Amino acid sequence: MPLVRARDLVKAYTMGGTTVHALRGVSLDIDEGEFVAIMGASGSGKSTLMNMLGCLDRPSSGTLEIAGDTVQDLSGDALAALRNRRIGFVFQQFNLLPRTSALENVELPMVYANVKPDERRSRALESLARVGLADRARHTPAELSGGQQQRVAIARALVNHPDIILADEPTGALDTATSEDIMRLLAGLNDQGMTVVLVTHEHDVAGWAKRCITFRDGHVVEDRRQSQVRALEKDEAPA
Protein backbone atom coordinates (compact mmCIF):
# COMPACT_ATOMS: atom_id res chain seq x y z
CA MET A 1 0.00 0.00 0.00
CA PRO A 2 1.42 3.41 -0.90
CA LEU A 3 2.09 5.94 1.86
CA VAL A 4 0.12 8.60 0.02
CA ARG A 5 -2.75 7.75 -2.27
CA ALA A 6 -4.55 10.60 -4.03
CA ARG A 7 -7.47 10.07 -6.42
CA ASP A 8 -9.11 12.78 -8.52
CA LEU A 9 -8.22 15.55 -6.09
CA VAL A 10 -10.04 18.78 -6.91
CA LYS A 11 -9.59 22.04 -5.05
CA ALA A 12 -11.64 25.06 -5.97
CA TYR A 13 -11.45 28.46 -4.30
CA THR A 14 -14.01 31.19 -4.64
CA MET A 15 -12.27 34.50 -4.93
CA GLY A 16 -14.17 37.71 -5.51
CA GLY A 17 -17.11 35.87 -7.02
CA THR A 18 -15.12 33.79 -9.50
CA THR A 19 -14.19 30.19 -8.87
CA VAL A 20 -10.52 29.32 -9.24
CA HIS A 21 -9.56 25.68 -9.72
CA ALA A 22 -6.18 25.13 -8.13
CA LEU A 23 -6.33 21.37 -8.64
CA ARG A 24 -8.35 19.78 -11.43
CA GLY A 25 -8.35 16.06 -10.71
CA VAL A 26 -4.95 14.94 -9.52
CA SER A 27 -4.20 11.27 -8.89
CA LEU A 28 -0.86 10.04 -7.64
CA ASP A 29 0.76 7.54 -5.29
CA ILE A 30 3.87 8.09 -3.21
CA ASP A 31 5.56 5.06 -1.70
CA GLU A 32 7.53 4.83 1.45
CA GLY A 33 11.15 5.88 0.98
CA GLU A 34 10.60 7.99 -2.10
CA PHE A 35 12.24 11.38 -2.71
CA VAL A 36 9.80 13.40 -4.79
CA ALA A 37 10.20 16.89 -6.22
CA ILE A 38 7.05 18.69 -7.27
CA MET A 39 7.71 21.37 -9.87
CA GLY A 40 5.68 23.92 -11.72
CA ALA A 41 5.20 27.62 -12.26
CA SER A 42 3.39 29.85 -9.77
CA GLY A 43 -0.30 29.03 -9.70
CA SER A 44 0.20 25.58 -11.19
CA GLY A 45 -1.30 23.97 -8.09
CA LYS A 46 1.86 22.48 -6.61
CA SER A 47 1.56 24.37 -3.32
CA THR A 48 -2.12 23.51 -3.06
CA LEU A 49 -1.25 19.82 -3.41
CA MET A 50 1.42 20.25 -0.78
CA ASN A 51 -1.16 21.75 1.65
CA MET A 52 -3.44 18.77 0.97
CA LEU A 53 -0.65 16.29 1.64
CA GLY A 54 0.16 18.17 4.83
CA CYS A 55 -3.48 18.00 5.99
CA LEU A 56 -3.50 21.76 6.30
CA ASP A 57 -6.32 21.99 3.79
CA ARG A 58 -9.11 19.66 2.66
CA PRO A 59 -9.86 18.76 -0.95
CA SER A 60 -13.10 20.01 -2.52
CA SER A 61 -13.60 16.52 -3.93
CA GLY A 62 -11.65 13.33 -4.53
CA THR A 63 -10.02 11.12 -1.96
CA LEU A 64 -6.72 11.37 -0.16
CA GLU A 65 -5.28 8.67 2.06
CA ILE A 66 -2.15 9.11 4.13
CA ALA A 67 -0.76 6.01 5.81
CA GLY A 68 -4.19 4.43 5.63
CA ASP A 69 -6.17 7.38 7.05
CA THR A 70 -8.73 8.96 4.77
CA VAL A 71 -8.02 12.67 5.22
CA GLN A 72 -11.32 14.18 4.12
CA ASP A 73 -13.23 12.12 6.71
CA LEU A 74 -11.16 13.25 9.69
CA SER A 75 -12.16 15.88 12.22
CA GLY A 76 -10.00 18.95 12.88
CA ASP A 77 -8.52 17.38 16.00
CA ALA A 78 -7.75 14.13 14.19
CA LEU A 79 -6.04 16.10 11.42
CA ALA A 80 -3.99 17.92 14.05
CA ALA A 81 -2.93 14.58 15.51
CA LEU A 82 -2.08 13.29 12.03
CA ARG A 83 0.08 16.36 11.33
CA ASN A 84 1.69 15.99 14.72
CA ARG A 85 2.69 12.33 14.39
CA ARG A 86 2.99 11.48 10.73
CA ILE A 87 4.10 14.64 8.97
CA GLY A 88 7.14 16.89 9.33
CA PHE A 89 6.96 20.33 7.77
CA VAL A 90 9.80 22.42 6.40
CA PHE A 91 8.88 25.89 5.18
CA GLN A 92 10.53 28.42 2.90
CA GLN A 93 10.59 31.04 5.67
CA PHE A 94 11.68 28.49 8.32
CA ASN A 95 8.78 29.56 10.60
CA LEU A 96 10.72 29.24 13.84
CA LEU A 97 9.31 30.91 16.94
CA PRO A 98 11.29 34.11 17.49
CA ARG A 99 13.14 34.71 20.80
CA THR A 100 12.91 31.00 21.49
CA SER A 101 15.94 28.74 21.61
CA ALA A 102 16.61 26.18 18.88
CA LEU A 103 16.06 23.46 21.45
CA GLU A 104 12.61 24.73 22.42
CA ASN A 105 11.67 25.21 18.79
CA VAL A 106 12.49 21.57 18.16
CA GLU A 107 10.56 20.57 21.28
CA LEU A 108 7.37 22.25 20.05
CA PRO A 109 5.77 19.29 18.20
CA MET A 110 6.41 17.08 21.25
CA VAL A 111 4.65 19.61 23.48
CA TYR A 112 1.49 18.93 21.51
CA ALA A 113 2.17 15.17 21.61
CA ASN A 114 2.24 15.34 25.44
CA VAL A 115 5.79 14.05 25.68
CA LYS A 116 7.32 14.43 29.15
CA PRO A 117 9.77 17.35 29.55
CA ASP A 118 12.83 15.15 30.17
CA GLU A 119 12.17 13.03 27.13
CA ARG A 120 11.40 16.16 25.07
CA ARG A 121 14.80 17.58 25.91
CA SER A 122 16.76 14.45 25.06
CA ARG A 123 14.87 13.79 21.84
CA ALA A 124 15.23 17.41 20.73
CA LEU A 125 18.97 17.32 21.36
CA GLU A 126 19.19 14.05 19.45
CA SER A 127 17.30 15.59 16.55
CA LEU A 128 19.50 18.70 16.55
CA ALA A 129 22.57 16.46 16.51
CA ARG A 130 21.12 14.69 13.47
CA VAL A 131 21.17 17.98 11.52
CA GLY A 132 24.59 18.91 12.91
CA LEU A 133 23.50 21.68 15.28
CA ALA A 134 23.96 20.07 18.68
CA ASP A 135 26.24 22.94 19.71
CA ARG A 136 23.65 25.60 18.77
CA ALA A 137 20.81 24.31 20.97
CA ARG A 138 20.71 27.44 23.15
CA HIS A 139 20.79 29.94 20.30
CA THR A 140 17.69 31.83 19.26
CA PRO A 141 16.78 32.08 15.55
CA ALA A 142 18.13 35.64 15.42
CA GLU A 143 21.54 34.28 16.40
CA LEU A 144 21.54 31.66 13.65
CA SER A 145 22.24 31.93 9.92
CA GLY A 146 19.51 31.15 7.37
CA GLY A 147 20.95 27.72 6.70
CA GLN A 148 21.18 26.95 10.42
CA GLN A 149 17.59 28.11 10.93
CA GLN A 150 16.43 25.77 8.20
CA ARG A 151 18.38 22.95 9.85
CA VAL A 152 16.58 23.68 13.11
CA ALA A 153 13.30 23.53 11.18
CA ILE A 154 14.31 20.14 9.74
CA ALA A 155 15.23 18.92 13.22
CA ARG A 156 11.78 20.03 14.36
CA ALA A 157 10.20 18.16 11.44
CA LEU A 158 12.08 14.98 12.38
CA VAL A 159 11.56 15.01 16.11
CA ASN A 160 8.23 13.12 16.24
CA HIS A 161 9.56 10.43 13.84
CA PRO A 162 7.13 11.27 11.01
CA ASP A 163 6.32 9.03 8.03
CA ILE A 164 6.92 11.83 5.57
CA ILE A 165 8.73 15.15 5.36
CA LEU A 166 7.04 17.87 3.35
CA ALA A 167 9.34 20.68 2.32
CA ASP A 168 7.78 23.74 0.70
CA GLU A 169 10.53 25.55 -1.22
CA PRO A 170 13.03 24.73 1.54
CA THR A 171 15.86 26.54 -0.27
CA GLY A 172 13.81 29.48 -1.52
CA ALA A 173 15.28 31.90 1.02
CA LEU A 174 18.86 30.59 0.93
CA ASP A 175 21.94 31.21 -1.21
CA THR A 176 23.25 28.53 -3.55
CA ALA A 177 25.92 27.09 -1.29
CA THR A 178 23.58 26.86 1.73
CA SER A 179 20.85 25.40 -0.50
CA GLU A 180 23.19 22.59 -1.40
CA ASP A 181 23.87 21.90 2.27
CA ILE A 182 20.18 21.68 3.00
CA MET A 183 19.49 19.45 -0.01
CA ARG A 184 22.38 17.21 0.98
CA LEU A 185 20.83 16.91 4.41
CA LEU A 186 17.40 16.01 2.97
CA ALA A 187 18.95 13.53 0.53
CA GLY A 188 20.85 11.96 3.42
CA LEU A 189 17.62 11.57 5.41
CA ASN A 190 16.03 9.96 2.36
CA ASP A 191 18.99 7.58 2.16
CA GLN A 192 18.16 6.54 5.72
CA GLY A 193 14.67 5.63 4.52
CA MET A 194 12.70 8.85 5.18
CA THR A 195 10.09 9.76 2.59
CA VAL A 196 10.69 13.32 1.39
CA VAL A 197 8.38 15.43 -0.77
CA LEU A 198 9.54 18.90 -1.74
CA VAL A 199 8.07 21.69 -3.79
CA THR A 200 10.44 23.82 -5.81
CA HIS A 201 10.70 25.73 -9.04
CA GLU A 202 14.45 25.36 -9.29
CA HIS A 203 15.74 22.53 -11.52
CA ASP A 204 18.97 22.42 -9.51
CA VAL A 205 17.04 21.55 -6.39
CA ALA A 206 14.73 19.13 -8.16
CA GLY A 207 17.83 17.37 -9.44
CA TRP A 208 18.42 15.93 -5.97
CA ALA A 209 15.15 14.03 -6.04
CA LYS A 210 14.58 10.53 -7.45
CA ARG A 211 11.21 11.37 -8.89
CA CYS A 212 10.00 14.62 -10.41
CA ILE A 213 6.33 15.53 -10.84
CA THR A 214 5.54 18.62 -12.92
CA PHE A 215 2.30 20.59 -12.54
CA ARG A 216 0.61 22.96 -14.93
CA ASP A 217 -2.86 24.52 -14.47
CA GLY A 218 -3.87 22.09 -11.77
CA HIS A 219 -2.90 18.96 -13.68
CA VAL A 220 0.07 16.63 -13.49
CA VAL A 221 1.76 17.03 -16.86
CA GLU A 222 4.86 14.98 -16.22
CA ASP A 223 5.79 12.30 -13.66
CA ARG A 224 9.18 10.70 -14.20
CA ARG A 225 11.65 8.74 -12.18
CA GLN A 226 15.17 10.05 -12.50
CA SER A 227 18.54 8.96 -11.42
CA GLN A 228 19.67 11.60 -8.97
CA VAL A 229 21.45 14.25 -11.00
CA ARG A 230 23.23 15.47 -7.90
CA ALA A 231 24.11 12.16 -6.39
CA LEU A 232 24.98 12.08 -2.77
CA GLU A 233 28.57 11.20 -2.13
CA LYS A 234 28.73 8.53 0.50
CA ASP A 235 31.33 10.26 2.64
CA GLU A 236 29.09 13.33 2.90
CA ALA A 237 26.17 11.50 4.35
CA PRO A 238 25.11 13.03 7.65
CA ALA A 239 25.33 10.80 10.63
Residue ranges in contact with other proteins by CB under 8 A: 51, 54, 56-57, 76-77, 80-81, 83-85, 89, 91, 95, 97-100, 108-109, 111-114, 117, 156, 160
Min dist. Cβ of residue 143 to other proteins (A) = 15
DSSP single-letter state for residue 233 = P
Evaluate whether 55 touches 87 at the Cβ level (below 8 Å).
yes
- Closer residue to other proteins in complex, CB, 41/112: 112
Helix axis angle, 102-112 to 76-86, nearest 10°: 130
DSSP single-letter state for residue 41 = -
**How far is the first Cα of the chain from the last one, in angstroms, to the nearest whole number?**
30
Min dist. Cβ of residue 169 to other proteins (A) = 13
Q: How many CB atoms sit inside 10 A of residue 152's CB? A: 26
- Closer residue to other proteins in complex, CB, 112/138: 112
- Closer residue to other proteins in complex, CB, 100/145: 100
- Closer residue to other proteins in complex, CB, 150/160: 160
Closest CA to 120 of 103, 140, 144, 102: 103
- Closer residue to other proteins in complex, CB, 16/98: 98
Min dist. Cβ of residue 95 to other proteins (A) = 5
CA-CA distances (angstroms) from residue 156 to 119, 126, 219, 229? 15, 11, 32, 28
Min dist. Cβ of residue 195 to other proteins (A) = 18
Min dist. Cβ of residue 235 to other proteins (A) = 33
